[in-house]
Copies of this chain bind each other. A is one copy, B any other.
Amino acid sequence: MTSARPAEGPAGTGPPDGELRIIREVFAPLATASGADGLLDDVASLHGGDWVVTTDALVAGVHFLPDDPLDLVARKALRVNISDLHAKGVDIEGYLLTLAWPAGRDHRQLEAIAAGLAVDQAHFGCSLMGGDTVVTPGPLMLSVTAFGRAQAPIPRRRLARAGDDLWLTGTIGDAGLGLEQALAGRSGDVLVARYRLPHQVSRRTAAIVREHARAAMDVSDGLLLDAARMGEAAGVGVRIDLGAMPVSPEVAGWLGAGPSVELLLHLATRGDDYCALLAADPARRAVVADALAQAGMPAVPVGACFAGTGLEVLGPGGRRVPAGGVLGWSHMG
């Protein structure tokens, strides 16, 4: 997303979200099967079975930096897809890899890609199932399609209800700041490592989602943009409390004491967090908080859904703040 244009919010929060508009106007009419869910969710389910499928692609210079190590790029390509499955309560079982390989690039570099994939296959327990490798005059691109089997009903975005608590399974802002550090040449920074390899992707997320989420999705394009998308799909308003937004110790250090709304908004509108956003029944708040705490995840709601539309952002003092037009990263401007 390095060179992707910032995205504005879905209808009701400003000018339309470019990516969402294209999906809705151009491609959704082609999604005639019920398992496609009108293309308005993160995964599709295959009819007559419990298989769930998702796909995400990374392009050099857009989603990763051209000099990022290839083993990490490959693991990132896999993890951004695993993150989508986990956020629906599903563990990965297999994947397909399509590689667009720049003409003339040394094929031996493919070994770094395979080595990275081998590490994460072992970690997440999955197998390469197939793929395609093509030469391109353009940049390196990795497109992964990931599969898993649902063990519970899929917590579609549209299932969030007014009154639901919103929870996160991880912290916000590490990768966004990491990208800025990388662009500034500070490649040894721990935040850069978190930009290069989504570090919060964990099977524990899938287990938490299965157990506790009414609706869930992964946070990949910016907390505010993704939360607004969930609200839009569910036909509810979404409130995010920046004062309750979980951050890592490193990001807390960057924020300093009593951080400004501007700095908090900066974090909440970056991308690449790859944790899950859950909507859960408020009657189960204590149970959910306990489960998250036991998994080492933030145990305080980051917001809530309300009857209405649009995105409401609260600053640290609980006062409503204008979120501005830019809510996150879009891949289609």
Contacts and interface: CB of A to CB of B under 8 A. Distances in A.
Given A26-B114, A30-B118, A39-B130, A138 B135 contact: no
A117 interface: yes
Given A32-B127, A61-B137, A96 B55 contact: yes
A33 B129 CA distance: 7
In the assembly, how many copies of this chain are there?
2
Interface stretch (A43-51, A155-163, A180-188, A227-235): A43-51
Contacts of A118: 29-30
A308 interface: no
Interface in A110-154: 110-111, 113-114, 117-118, 121, 127-139, 141, 143, 145, 147, 149
B128 A57 contact: no
Contacts of A58: 134
A130 B55 contact: yes
Contacts of A43: 130
Contacts of A19: 133
21 contacts: A3-B103, A3-B137, A4-B135, A19-B133, A26-B111, A26-B114, A30-B118, A36-B129, A39-B130, A44-B94, A44-B129, A47-B93, A51-B51, A53-B147, A59-B136, A59-B137, A96-B145, A132-B143, A134-B332, A136-B141, A138-B139
A254 interface: no
Interface in A15-47: 19, 22-23, 26-27, 29-33, 35-36, 39, 43-44, 46-47
A135 B57 contact: no
Interface size class of A (residues with CB under 8 A): 35 or more
